[in-house]
Amino acid sequence: MSEHRATISWQRTSEEFLKGRYSREHVWKFDGGATVLASPSPSVVPAPFSNAANVDPEEAYVASLTSCHMLFFADFARRKGFVVDSYDDEAVGTLSKNEAGQMWISKVVMHPRIKFSGEKTPSAQDEDQLHHDAHKACFIANSVKTEITWETH
């Protein structure tokens, strides 16, 4: 098994913290050296206390699910003899309220656009099976209760 680490750093920059008037911008640092500017979504915390240019946790969650799916898809395609040239996805996560009135990302819909080359290309059925296999294998998808689907063209 393995461990995966992230360091989150935030500093108060306002004297109005107790009034809720403070920036929520912060930094994510990863063990490989990547640093990501983060913030709550402006749909959750309005500007100027958030920064739309930074990654928010909801976007990161959607990206994490989609990235994991893509990595397994590409590997499973390779194992079947399909050459993947590119994989682009504009995934969308939906924030809604559950039965208890709590906000959660209830659904993520992926919209993968995949280009293949080579002598052997997958049928629509092959491609759909690759998505099912990738979904079943994805560590992140296996860790959450969000409904995850995909729509291919």
Model confidence pLDDT, tens digit, residues 3-53: 999 999 999 999 999 999 999 999 999 999 999 999 999 999 999 999 999
Query: Rounded to 10 degrees, what is the CA torsion of 23, 29, 35, 37?
Result: -20
Report the distance separating Cα 60 and Cα 55, nearest Å.
Answer: 7
* Domain hosting residue 92, numbered range: 57-150
In the three-class reduction of DSSP (H, G, I as helix; E, B as strand; rest coil), residue 16 is classed as coil
Whether residues 87 and 63 fall in one domain: yes
Q: Are 78 and 120 in contact (CB under 8 A)?
A: no
- How large is the average pLDDT for residues 82-98? 97
Q: Please report which residue ranges of 29-144 form alpha helices under DSSP H.
A: 57-79, 124-137
Model confidence pLDDT, tens digit, residues 56-69: 999 999 999 999 99
Q: Are 106 and 83 in contact (CB under 8 A)?
A: no
Report the distance separating Cα 33 and Cα 62, nearest Å.
Answer: 22
Does the pLDDT value for residue 108 go beyond 80? yes
Between the two ends of the chain, the Cα-to-Cα distance in Å is 37
Whether residues 99 and 51 fall in one domain: no
Whether residues 44 and 75 fall in one domain: no
Residue 90's nearest CA partner among 66, 68, 123, 55 is 66
Whether residues 45 and 70 fall in one domain: no
Domain end residue (candidates: 16, 34, 55): 55
The pTM of the full predicted model, rounded to 2 decimals, is: 0.93
Whether residues 50 and 74 fall in one domain: no
Whether residues 93 and 35 fall in one domain: no
Whether residues 75 and 128 fall in one domain: yes
Dihedral sign from CA coordinates of 65, 69, 72, 75: negative
Q: What is the pLDDT of residue 152?
A: 85
